[in-house]
Chains A and B, each alone.
Chain A
Amino acid sequence: MMQRLNKSFAELKKQGRKALITFITAGDPDLAATCDLVDTLVAAGADIVELGVPFSDPLADGPTIQAASTRALAQSTTLKKIIATVKEIRRRTEVPLVLMTYYNPLYRYGLKKLVRDVCDAGVDGLIVPDLPLEESAELRRLAAEKLAIIPLAAPTTPDSRLAGIVAAGSGFLYYVTVTGITGARTKLPDELSHSLDRVKKISGDLPLAAGFGISTPEQARTIGRHADAIIVGSVLVKIIAQYGASNAGRQELSGRVKALRQALDSE
């Protein structure tokens, strides 16, 4: 239900806070662990959780998330099983949940059945990095008011195009901070704050989330000033790669999310 996403952004706005969106790959190290890891993320202060559905050929992802996808696929993780896991997660938390995946697993599942099944399970939105505006009409039509089809914009997106993307989008606008693929970066583009301000003028009421490359509290603080949300992924996935879902891993993960949360709230 898209409602959960909209409500979350509305409440944060009222409180004058920024949303922290955390990404992990579902099925890494396995699906039972994914349920627990979501608990950890939420307890540490994540406002929205993105679950990556692994794909064999993740061409918008850097080495960290590629490796997580490979690990998850080695555990026979499928979209079907992830939807079942979401049902499990929904028994424990009302945190907005978004699936991020490439188009082929969705296409193969069947779009109509997909929208029905993910909505039933309690998914709130989809992010599909290889499904640009022109190709997403059918999915958007089926999703209607039930499911957010979260659009992406990039530094290379011209303003004229951005207006169309915003108009068709729902949930939030995912602004890709770098011209490139996913992966933690020590340095983000100098002009990022400026770009976000420019995008914000066009995105209007659709909340603006910035993602790709964000890993440190310092980056979170700076970017939080110019966006409604930040998205962190690779830095968390790296922790899972190292520790799995062990207690030590969950502690590490929790520490990192708390640090980001604090940095965002300190503004």
Chain B
Amino acid sequence: MNKMEEKMGRATVPDERGYFGAYGGRFVPETLIAALDELTKAYELYRYDQVFQEELKGWLSSYCGRPTALYRAKRLALELGIKEIYLKREDLAHTGAHKINNTMGQALMAKRMGKKRLIAETGAGQHGVATATAAALFGLECEVYMGEKDIERQAMNVYRMNLLGAKVIPVSSGSKTLKDATNEAIRDWVTNVGHTHYSIGSVVGPHPYPLMVRDFQRVIGLETRTQIVEMHGCLPDYIFACVGGGSNAIGIFHPFLEDDLKMIGVEAAGRGIESGAHSAPLCAGDPGVLHGSLSYLLQTEDGQIEEAHSISAGLDYPGVGPEHSFLHDQGRVEYISVTDDQALEALRLLCRTEGIIPALESAHALAGVATLSKRLEAQIVVINLSGRGDKDVATLAALEEKEGK
């Protein structure tokens, strides 16, 4: 492939079958195919529909508080010995994370498609809260599947969802985390597909979800582009984002894919890649099929899906979006991983230097920057601060108690 074709390739994925190179597609029960066709058709329409896009833009600004700030973190930069660091403050978006960008888009579409009910899976609870919020706003019924382990470690978000009028359904199968909540949400959708829209929380799942969720999250990168040029005069050298399913990362990366800058996605190494207890399919997994698409996965030799581990519920998932697999193979984005401990350290560092409590997920992006600080010494770095850490306070407190601090 020559340079030109390569660029074209990146700009035009996915193809009409939802493939990003070798990854993506639609590996779902036949029952869902008609619904995915309907959704694809609707999305093709709304994607280019001025009225829809204007309405969404209106909600994102008046209701969600967009554009979110791009903040120059001078004390953090000084501490890490890096020339300039900018934080894209998705933690300041309504409900406290980037997830709302996607749920506003999907809820608005669902309403226009005449669906009465939204269902969602959630790990950290941020996507659940964001779906419940959009459902309340647009008068839709909402049920959210959540693993029992996550219900425990993200209790505050469960309470928020209940307040917002959503029903949280505990999932007790498998690892009792995001993967199993997703299985249950898909089973619900297979059963209630007529009047229900499945609001997927990341750039995963069958086509058209990875495309649609990416497009709804691109607003992060588009804003960043304008803001960094205004503040700094040109594009940055590096962009960092954490990668669970990969929606905040693709959201900030995508508008820069054709530019001359480096992008780094940070996966969760949990207790260390060697320990096997991690959530880093791009760094340490193999291609396979889970939840409707072909992408990198944590799996056994026999093709059973392995349980993931991360201290951060939002990253605790054995899969990753197909577009990241594509960008990984192309070498356009570099994927690294940081451990639970490194993320915790980075979280505390941001609290102390900048007075910002980041989500544990976002702390992985910060830790990625900290790990590579030598290489970044003379660089302009943007970090996607995907969410705020209020939801993680209980986890942190429990940890400190255990450590006897």
Listed in ascending order, the chain A residues whose CB lies under 8 Å from chain B are: 55-60, 62, 66, 73, 78-80, 102-109, 129-132, 134-135, 152-158, 161, 165, 176, 179-181
- Take A156-B193, A179-B190 as given contacts and tell me if A107 and B288 are in contact as well, using a CB distance cutoff of 8 Å: yes
Chain B proximity of A206: nearest CB distance (Å): 15
Range, interface on chain B:
35 or more
A129 contacts which chain B residues (CB < 8 A)? Answer: 29-30
Q: Which residue of B lies closest to A155 (CB)?
A: B31
User: Contact at B28–A130, with CB atoms within 8 Å?
Assistant: yes
- Take A59-B186, A107-B288, A179-B194 as given contacts and tell me if A157 and B30 are in contact as well, using a CB distance cutoff of 8 Å: yes
Chain B proximity of A167: nearest CB distance (Å): 15
User: Contact at A152–B29, with CB atoms within 8 Å?
Assistant: yes
From B83-91, B104-112, B302-310, give the one contacting chain A.
B302-310
User: Contact at B288–A108, with CB atoms within 8 Å?
Assistant: yes
User: Contact at B173–A132, with CB atoms within 8 Å?
Assistant: no
- Take A56-B174, A156-B34 as given contacts and tell me if A132 and B304 are in contact as well, using a CB distance cutoff of 8 Å: no
- Take A57-B174, A105-B303 as given contacts and tell me if A179 and B191 are in contact as well, using a CB distance cutoff of 8 Å: yes
A-B contacts, 24 of them at CB < 8 A, read A55-B303, A57-B179, A59-B29, A59-B187, A79-B302, A103-B27, A104-B290, A104-B299, A105-B302, A105-B303, A107-B288, A108-B302, A109-B302, A130-B289, A130-B292, A132-B30, A135-B25, A153-B30, A156-B30, A156-B33, A157-B33, A165-B30, A176-B29, A176-B31
Contact with A along B72-95 (1 / 0, CB 8 A): 000000000000000000000000
User: Contact at A59–B183, with CB atoms within 8 Å?
Assistant: yes
Which one of A55, A59, A103, A161 lies within 8 Å of B33 (CB-CB)? Answer: A161
Interface majority SS on B: helix, strand, loop or mixed? mixed
Given contacts A105-B302, A135-B26, 5 further A-B contacts (CB under 8 A): A60-B29, A79-B303, A107-B303, A130-B29, A157-B34
User: Contact at B290–A57, with CB atoms within 8 Å?
Assistant: yes
Which one of A106, A153, A156 lies within 8 Å of B303 (CB-CB)? Answer: A106
From 330 to 348 in chain B, residues with beta carbon under 8 angstroms from any chain A beta carbon are: none
User: Contact at A105–B187, with CB atoms within 8 Å?
Assistant: no
Query: Is the C-beta of B17 less than 8 angstroms from some C-beta in chain A?
Result: yes
Query: Is the C-beta of B396 less than 8 angstroms from some C-beta in chain A?
Result: no
- Take A73-B304, A105-B303 as given contacts and tell me if A154 and B30 are in contact as well, using a CB distance cutoff of 8 Å: yes
Best-buried of B25, B30, B299, B301 by chain A (most CB within 10 Å): B30
User: Contact at B303–A154, with CB atoms within 8 Å?
Assistant: no
Complex Cα spacing A107 to B22, Å:
14
Query: Is the C-beta of B273 less than 8 angstroms from some C-beta in chain A?
Result: no
Chain B proximity of A99: nearest CB distance (Å): 14
Query: Is the C-beta of B228 less than 8 angstroms from some C-beta in chain A?
Result: no
Complex Cα spacing A179 to B190, Å:
6
A132 contacts which chain B residues (CB < 8 A)? Answer: 26-30, 33
